[in-house]
Amino acid sequence: MTKFLVDRMLGQTAKWLRLLGIDAKYAPEGDDERLLKLAEEEDRVILTRDKELGRKEDTVLVEKAPPETIIKEVLSRYEVDIDPLSRCSICNSQVKRIEKEDLEEKIPEGVYQRNEEFWHCSVCDQYYWRGSHWDDITENIEDILDDLDSYENKV
Ligand SMILES: [Zn+2]
């Protein structure tokens, strides 16, 4: 399955990839050589806005476009495992399902009442649930997947 190293200018794209469960690590600060070396070591495809870097092997030059357009291109070109809500959108770590009763008072009361399923990132102590932001993303993603020929193979 393809993993990505994402340019810091593509923050929204990285976040969406992670929400889909796709491994999308932020590129480190530093020069292109360092970035290319890391991508090779960790076997990652680079997503970048940098025209020069974008010409290298295993690199996708991403034009200025809404995240859904970028995600669509990435999903049509690379084989990925889509596993929504398995990864932290902030730090890219795997999140774990946690029991609802362990959560009381850690999240807003209304959220607690409205949801049954929760996930936790132990690295940045972040809690996840299917909120309205999530609905927006899944709606967009469903449209994207419907457009892709290989939909059946990927979900
Ligand atoms: Zn995290």
CA of 149 to the centre of ligand 1 (A): 32
* Number of separate domains in the chain: 2
Same domain, 10 and 78: yes
Same domain, 109 and 146: no
Residue 137 lies in a domain: yes
Q: How far apart are CA 59 and CA 4, in angstroms?
A: 9
CA of 89 to the centre of ligand 1 (A): 7
Same domain, 29 and 56: yes
Same domain, 77 and 11: yes
Using DSSP bridges, classify how beta strands 118-121 and 96-98 pair: parallel, antiparallel or unpaired. Answer: antiparallel
CA of 127 to the centre of ligand 1 (A): 9
Same domain, 77 and 140: yes
| Core vs surface per residue 57-74: b (16+ CB within 10 A) or e | eebbbbeeeebbebbbbb
Instruction: Tell me the pTM.
Output: 0.84
Residues 147 and 141 sit within 8 Å (Cβ to Cβ): no
Sheet of 96-98: strand order equals 96-98, 118-121, 126-128
Neighbours of 49 (CB within 10 A): 14
Same domain, 115 and 78: no
CA of 94 to the centre of ligand 1 (A): 8
Same domain, 62 and 114: no
CA of 120 to the centre of ligand 1 (A): 8
- Domain containing 70 equals 3-84+132-154
CA of 56 to the centre of ligand 1 (A): 30
Q: What is the mean pLDDT of the chain?
A: 87
Residue 90 lies in a domain: no
pLDDT 10s digits, 119-149: 999 999 999 888 766 777 777 777 777 766 5
